[in-house]
């Protein structure tokens, strides 16, 4: 078993070690749960208890699981997060960049990625960039987005 080291380039806002999204600390920094709560997502029924265990103590029938997850995935598709979280340090010491979805490129050790203008162009991301900037304003992050080159030791 080896240690992975990834190079990462993305366009966004570096937040460092602080809680990356104001309010997400209430969800142990699970920004997906924070996003769902913020927009009022409710599952069609509760299938898991507070510890993540099956209600009733055993796996539910496949059709109920499918109904639960189909509902969740349809909601996520209709309400995509206008940001992506990028850890640019390690699991033990996370340091965060909140980036525009679609601007992150990762190069794994031994697998270089060609950097050309198409990677660095924001033209393909104008709608996402506008939604990202609106999101930053809503949550009170006043930093200007920029390109970052980081690494992750996983």
Q: Tens of pLDDT along 28-79? A: 878 999 999 999 999 999 999 989 899 999 999 999 999 999 999 999 999 9
Q: Does residue 128 lie in a domain region?
A: yes
Same domain, 107 and 131: yes
Same domain, 16 and 89: yes
Domain count, the chain: 2
For residue 97, which phi and psi values (nearest 5 degrees)? -120, 130
Same domain, 132 and 88: yes
Q: Supply the range of the domain harboring residue 116.
A: 5-27+82-153
* Among 84, 104, 112, 116, CA closest to 5: 112
Q: Does residue 92 lie in a domain region?
A: yes
Same domain, 73 and 86: no
CA pair distance 52, 114, nearest whole angstrom: 42
pTM for this predicted structure:
0.84
Cα–Cα distances in angstroms (integers) from residue 4 to residues 1, 102, 153, in the given order = 9, 22, 6
Same domain, 91 and 146: yes
Separation of CA 75 from chain center: 16
Q: Write the pLDDT tens digit of every residue in 113-131.
A: 988 887 788 888 899 999 9
């Amino acid at each position: 078993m080896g240690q992975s080291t990834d190079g990462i380039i993305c366009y966004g806002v570096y937040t460092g070690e602080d809680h990356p999204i104001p309010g997400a600390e209430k969800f142990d920094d699970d920004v997906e749960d924070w996003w769902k709560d913020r927009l009022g997502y409710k599952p069609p029924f509760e299938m898991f208890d507070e510890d993540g265990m099956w209600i009733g103590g055993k796996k539910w029938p496949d059709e109920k699981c499918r109904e639960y997850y189909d509902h969740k995935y349809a909601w996520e598709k209709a309400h995509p997060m206008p940001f992506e979280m990028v850890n640019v340090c390690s699991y033990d010491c996370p340091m965060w960049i909140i980036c525009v979805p679609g601007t992150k490129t990762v190069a794994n050790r031994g697998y270089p990625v060609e950097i050309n203008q198409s990677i660095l162009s924001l033209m393909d991301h104008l709608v996402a960039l506008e939604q990202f900037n609106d999101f930053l304003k809503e949550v009170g992050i006043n930093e200007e987005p920029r390109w970052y080159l980081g690494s992750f030791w996983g």
